[in-house]
Amino acid sequence: MADENPENITEEPTDAVETEPEAPKAPEGPDPSLSPVQKRAWHRQRSGTEANAPKSIEEKAEERKALRKQKAVARRRRRLQEREKKASKLGAEAGTDRGTPTPEWEPGRKQVRQGVVVSAKGDKTLAVRIDHSKRHPKYKKIVRHTTKLYAHDEQNDAGEGDTVRIESARPLSRTKRWTLAEIVERAK
């Protein structure tokens, strides 16, 4: 009698697993007739997760505020590290040679340069080579530069190879902006 009762009937396990009736599947890709913009929107819509759920204005403001605070802390830390690095670098280089110092100049005061005369062929004109050496800011190698200036020599005193000191003047010709101040050392 217990066998006849339909409630107590146990079914034997079968290989087929029963599933709920399937809902019609969404197509694999967007409709081919959609424009590229609409296709992107379709993909965005499908890839949306719970994390991208719409947020209230207050939630967005709080997130923005927290992000700003994080960035400010990181920025402060980085600037402090840069300051310390710069200070230690200056301390380490305090005793090293920094090349030719920049000439002192104030408004109303003539600039002075010292160099070697490379040509005295022109009448009352000298071509003076001025050598600069300066440490490269990034690579720390000493870089040498040469500048050629033309100076006015009223008495034609200086000759080639002389070391001379020249000072700035008003424009005397198209290229001459300097005058001979003194001959420091004569060529041998």
pLDDT digits (tens, 9 = 90+) for 118-173: 999 999 999 999 999 999 999 999 999 999 999 999 999 999 999 999 999 999 99
Rounded Cα distance, 159 and 121, in Å: 9
**C-alpha dihedral over 31, 33, 38, 43, to 10 degrees?**
20
Please give the pLDDT value at position 23: 59
* Backbone phi, psi, residue 70, to 5°: -60, -45
| DSSP characters over 37-56 | HHHHHHHHHHH--GGG----
Sites in the chain below the pLDDT cut of 50: none
Rounded Cα distance, 182 and 165, in Å: 5
